[in-house]
Structure 1
Amino acid sequence: MKNIKKQYIKWAVVLSVFTGMVSCESDYLETDPTTAASEEAAYSSAANLMAIVNGMHRDMYSRQNDSQGQNGQGGIMIMMDALADDLVFPSTGNGWYVSTVRWQDQVNESGSNDFYPYQFYYALIRNANLVIANGPSVPTPTAADAATIKTAIGEAYAFRAFCYYMLVQIYGKRYVPGANNTQLGVPIRLVANEIPLARNTVEEVYTQINKDLNEAATRLAGVTRATKSHFNDKVVLGLRARIALTQGNYAAAVTAAQSARAGFDLMDKTAYTAGFNNLAGNSEWMWGATIIADQGDTFSNFGAYMSRNFNSTNIRQAPKAINSKLYQMFLNKKDVRIDNFDPTGAHTALALPSTYSKFPYTSQKFIAASQADSRVDVPYMRAAEMYLIEAEALAKLGDEAGSKVALNTLGKRRFTDPDVNNYVGTSATGAAYLTEVLNTRRIELWGEGFRFLDLKRLNQGLDRTGANHSSVVTNNVMTVANTDLRWEFLIPRTEINANPLIVQNPL
């Protein structure tokens, strides 16, 4: 387990106290005993402590394990959608994520993509644990220093909660609302050491997640963050809403979602079709990553795989498409969301060169900075998601009228008719209405990494049939029952070899 346990403190910048000059973002301080002096310096000031947190946010969009397809959180978002039904790969292209589409990654315990989420999130957890443990002893000569330390520790708790939420969903059994949830989750590691730990239950992991969110909320209350890449109290509320929905705590999900989105106005029609590449200026985006020019990684940015216009082999040969059945559901509803997809695949407004392969229903939701620059802002959380959480939770509480208020508020903002008075909300009721809420969630959050986890959360199977999925690309993996063992990724072999207490998921 050495590859997982021996992690690094990643810095956004290394201050002059260490190098005599300001260095680039890729410098590291190793945390093992041979470099104890460097680690001591890391906790010598509030600014240095916050530099660790800045490095963690930088890691959210950085290449992992020297693999260009493993681009931090963005790469995992692509994997979570590639496993499901709504993100369509019309060709194999040059092979990126095709093994994911074919459900081969999670059954290969020695595979890079099985290891990737495990290593990525536990690396962030290790750094969060270091900040939480050492933050209280950092000197506070001024009130501003004390505030910085409080914020850094608050963000570390939020990071830890977010990472455990992702880990338990990917490697653990689904959470069953109302049950004891004694099924195996993942090890809860709250100290940055290498002591072998057994897997905690799913319920225990969610208990720790909620405990960490409470700590984060307290420490981040009223904090003004520097950029939307950082956590604040609203993002913590958004995470609380997600987690409450997963646990079936629907009343709590409604309350958290309503509070989280306050102050984040839904984007208008123009902004919705502008390429999802303006985190700072978009009123709806609550949390995300902006990759600045000197920190980009040309073939490892999110946009190198999910944009329509970047000039790479992957984009030219394997542009990403929407499930044609999902597209057809919204075709006649004057819904701006379908304008981000071209049923012809021509994308004439983008003036794509003839070398770009054209396939029906391809997406232009994500537009890179240019054909030579793959940078795209990565969306981690938007206000639209909060409306959808509220709509789903209220429907499941039996408050269909209240649910429709939330769904229609979002629907009106996605209505293309200039006269919004012409908007007519759904007339569906009961199970049909809930299905409409969930389908709206599918098209609204397309490409943002939710679909596989939603299918698992809802205890639904995979169904790619009758749409535009290629049997060659999917290797005929068109349906997967909700009871299939492959909904849980195998624990990586690296972890099992080093940790005698780990129990592998059944295969």
Structure 2
Amino acid sequence: MNIFKYLSALLPILVLMGILYSCSINESLMDTPTPELITNEDDLEAVIHGAYARFNDAAAFKFQGMMMLMLMADDLYSDAGSEFGPFANRSLSGVNTATFWNQFYFSIASANALLKIVDDLDLDPAVEKRAAGEAYFLRAFSYYYLVRLYGPVPLRLDAVDINSNFYLPRSPLDEVYAQIFDDLKKASARLPLYSAIPAGELGRASKGAAQALLAHALLTYGNQLSLKGGNPDERYTQAVVYADSVINSNEYILINSFADLFNLDKEADAYDEVIFGIRFQVDNQSRAQPSAGSEFALRFMAPVTAGVTGRANGTGAGSIRPMPWVADFYRTGDYVTGTDAGRVLDFRNEVSFYPKGVSTTGSTVIMYPDIAGAGQTRVPSALVGKYIDPNGKDERNNGNDFFVIRLAEIYLIKAEALNELNGPTLTAVDAFNMVRARARKANGTPRAVPADIPASHTFTKAQFRMKIFEERGLEFIGEGQRWFDLVRMQHPSDPTKTMYEYQFLEELPKAKYPKVLPVWQAAQNKWSNSFAVYAKSLNVIVPKFLLFPVPTTELLQNPSIGMENQNAGW
């Protein structure tokens, strides 16, 4: 059964799951699901599938959420205008953030209703146990995104009926995180191991997914406590415990070739490392935005690169691109060895940044910052190369998934939490080096880069934190992690400030980062500059840009919040 498409025969059931549009008067209270409507395991499965389908909607990770996650960090930019402009140019408002907010509250409504349904039904206890586990996971997943994006948010923990209070206030940050932790622990106790989930249910939550997300949330909450001058040690310690639980379960591996993670022909095998992802599949019943396919290939690949999407001629749109400084940075330091013709890059560079392609006329296309080849078509920016699907149905209907958390991140979570507790100990460095060891395997021909950090290193805690930040920047580019890392990780020298403040207000404004994007200078056979920054991305102030604005509709329609309780600066 395809869990990512609505089942037309059971559409009325799935509509009922959308009973909560948000926490405002804008809710559409249809009814409360009852055992009369959902009477067997097939009906229950349809409800669960509909809850997962919330996430691959255009209002969520497929498009609106993608823009929020990708374009507000320091590594990607867009000059495409239209819907992309408010995020790329930092001119957004609460009008631009409503759809992602609403979609998460749809999911929360589905989870709450699912928990009530399970209580009311009399089915196989194992089926009910797993259904409840998925409900707890989906609710925690939704609140974890909400609290990181918007800060304090309304906590709704019961299924909606006619007697429900539709106007909930924003709950304190601590309460929201406490609920996330509690839900993920309940999910972990009820969900099956990844190895016990049938192949046809790829993408459903597992025990490992709950524990991985819990490790991530504990680390993030510890970061928040630290920035506020609190004591985060308990949270960091717990983050290590849950990270170790995932690692030691032996349910997941770092697959040998980094490139295979993003090869659609090997997608099922990628989930030996991908602990949880948002699943997209080419949808033959629908097309374009309403389809269950993704549009990452369209957005990340350039219009002159053919054979990369399901679009006519297989081209992209180039809506979202890496900033030149990022592509240049990962050709320096630990990520390169040798010079000129003998230069060898970290293999992840060749996957994360699309090196060269073919145009619709068959000529070679060279991407920034490469210079090799005379008379070629040149794209004056790097491209993210992780999302390619020449077999998609159309430009917005491809099969590339969105990876939420992978085993590589679990090793880096462990390294970071241990570093925050005790500095760069041998155990912390060993966890970090696991990710580099896989990178060195390349595509079957091992490389010397990136080298392990040696046991004899002299890094301070702040320096090792920066190493982790940089490593995450290459490992997860285009996977929606960078903005979260910027706003949760600590400034290199000021424990009261974030990495976001360091990058946007101190580092990138420096003169060594040109504010004019590069152009090809044919006469000199070189690009006009390097390490360039998209200037409009620097239009930030703090604390305003450490959170997204609460949707304007929510503020206007929910008197328990009101316009006066918008996030600072918005």
Band of TM-score, shorter chain = 0.7 to 0.9
Is 1:214 aligned to residue 181 of structure 2? no
Aligned to 1:412: 437
Aligned to 2:226: none
Mean Cα deviation higher: 306-315 or 327-336: 306-315
Which of 147, 164, 167 in structure 1 is aligned with 2:146? Answer: 167
Q: 1:371 to 1:434 in 2, by over 3 A?
A: same
Q: Which residue identity does 1:439 align to in structure 2?
A: E
Q: Which has the higher contact order (CA 8 A, sep 6+)?
A: 1
Aligned to 1:3: none
- Is the Cα contact below 8 Å between 1:316 and 1:357 reproduced in 2? no
- Is the Cα contact below 8 Å between 1:321 and 1:363 reproduced in 2? yes
Q: How does 1:304-319 map to 2 (within 5 A)?
A: 304-307=298-301, 309-310=308-309, 311=311, 316-318=316-318
Q: 1:319 to 1:187 in 2, by over 3 A?
A: closer
**SS in structure 2 opposite 1:347?**
strand
Is 1:190 aligned to residue 157 of structure 2? yes
Aligned to 1:281: 269
Q: Which residue identity does 1:286 align to in structure 2?
A: I
Q: 1:83 to 1:419 in 2, by over 3 A?
A: closer
Partners of 2:41 and 2:127 in 1: CA distance? 6
Is 1:149 aligned to residue 128 of structure 2? yes
Mean Cα deviation higher: 225-234 or 42-51: 42-51
Please list the CA deviations of residues 196-218 of structure 1 after superposition, one character each: whole Å capped at 9, or x if unmatched: 11111000100111111121111
**SS in structure 2 opposite 1:190?**
coil
Partners of 2:197 and 2:82 in 1: CA distance? 39
Q: Which residue identity does 2:325 align to in structure 1?
A: K
- Is the Cα contact below 8 Å between 1:442 and 1:451 reproduced in 2? yes
Is 1:424 aligned to residue 451 of structure 2? yes
Aligned to 1:95: 82
Q: Which residue identity does 1:487 align to in structure 2?
A: L
Which of 341, 351, 354 in structure 2 is aligned with 1:340? Answer: 351
Q: 1:469 to 1:147 in 2, by over 3 A?
A: farther
Which of 381, 385, 396 in structure 1 is aligned with 2:405? Answer: 381
- Is the Cα contact below 8 Å between 1:341 and 1:361 reproduced in 2? no
Which of 175, 179, 185 in structure 2 is aligned with 1:204? Answer: 175
Partners of 2:549 and 2:389 in 1: CA distance? 34
**SS in structure 1 opposite 2:275?**
strand
Q: Which residue identity does 1:258 align to in structure 2?
A: D
Q: 1:313 to 1:351 in 2, by over 3 A?
A: closer
- Is the Cα contact below 8 Å between 1:238 and 1:257 reproduced in 2? yes
Which of 68, 71, 74 in structure 2 is aligned with 1:85? Answer: 74
Please list the CA deviations of residues 237-258 of structure 1 after superposition, one character each: whole Å capped at 9, or x if unmatched: 1101110110222221122122
User: Among the aligned pairs, what percent are the same residue?
Assistant: 23
Partners of 1:133 and 1:273 in 2: CA distance? 37
Aligned to 2:382: 361
Which of 235, 240, 247 in structure 1 is aligned with 2:209? Answer: 235
Mean Cα deviation higher: 291-300 or 424-433: 291-300
Is 1:487 aligned to residue 546 of structure 2? yes
Please list the CA deviations of residues 77-107 of structure 1 after superposition, one character each: whole Å capped at 9, or x if unmatched: 4421210111233x32x634221112222xx
**SS in structure 1 opposite 2:267?**
coil
Partners of 1:40 and 1:149 in 2: CA distance? 13
User: Which sections of structure 1, spanning at least 5 residues, go unmatched?
Assistant: 1-9, 65-70, 173-184
- Is the Cα contact below 8 Å between 2:155 and 2:170 reproduced in 1? yes
RMSD across aligned positions (CA) = 3.5
Q: 1:395 to 1:191 in 2, by over 3 A?
A: same
- Is the Cα contact below 8 Å between 2:13 and 2:37 reproduced in 1? no
Mean Cα deviation higher: 203-212 or 360-369: 360-369
Aligned to 1:455: 486
Please list the CA deviations of residues 443-474 of structure 1 after superposition, one character each: whole Å capped at 9, or x if unmatched: 10111111111111122225354558767995
- Is the Cα contact below 8 Å between 1:267 and 1:284 reproduced in 2? yes
Partners of 2:313 and 2:558 in 1: CA distance? 40
- Is the Cα contact below 8 Å between 2:412 and 2:431 reproduced in 1? yes
What is the TM-score with the length of structure 2 in the denominator?
A: 0.72
User: Which sections of structure 2, spanning at least 5 residues, go unmatched?
Assistant: 20-27, 223-234, 303-307, 338-344, 366-376, 490-497, 519-532
Partners of 1:337 and 1:350 in 2: CA distance? 27
Which of 129, 132, 138 in structure 1 is aligned with 2:121? Answer: 138
Partners of 1:95 and 1:34 in 2: CA distance? 33
Aligned to 2:476: 445
Which of 40, 46, 49 in structure 2 is aligned with 1:45? Answer: 40
**SS in structure 1 opposite 2:268?**
coil
Which of 252, 257, 261 in structure 1 is aligned with 2:238? Answer: 252
**SS in structure 1 opposite 2:154?**
coil
- Is the Cα contact below 8 Å between 1:306 and 1:319 reproduced in 2? yes
- Is the Cα contact below 8 Å between 2:419 and 2:465 reproduced in 1? yes
Please list the CA deviations of residues 416-442 of structure 1 after superposition, one character each: whole Å capped at 9, or x if unmatched: 493568863134611222211110011
**SS in structure 1 opposite 2:276?**
strand
Please list the CA deviations of residues 131-162 of structure 1 after superposition, one character each: whole Å capped at 9, or x if unmatched: 1122111122xxxx322221111101001111
- Is the Cα contact below 8 Å between 2:130 and 2:192 reproduced in 1? no
- Is the Cα contact below 8 Å between 2:17 and 2:109 reproduced in 1? no
Partners of 1:447 and 1:404 in 2: CA distance? 25
Q: 1:429 to 1:369 in 2, by over 3 A?
A: same
Q: Which residue identity does 2:77 align to in structure 1?
A: V
What is the TM-score with the length of structure 1 in the denominator?
A: 0.80
Aligned to 1:5: none
* Higher alpha-carbon Rg: 2
Q: 1:286 to 1:307 in 2, by over 3 A?
A: farther
Is 1:61 aligned to residue 56 of structure 2? yes
Partners of 1:198 and 1:486 in 2: CA distance? 22
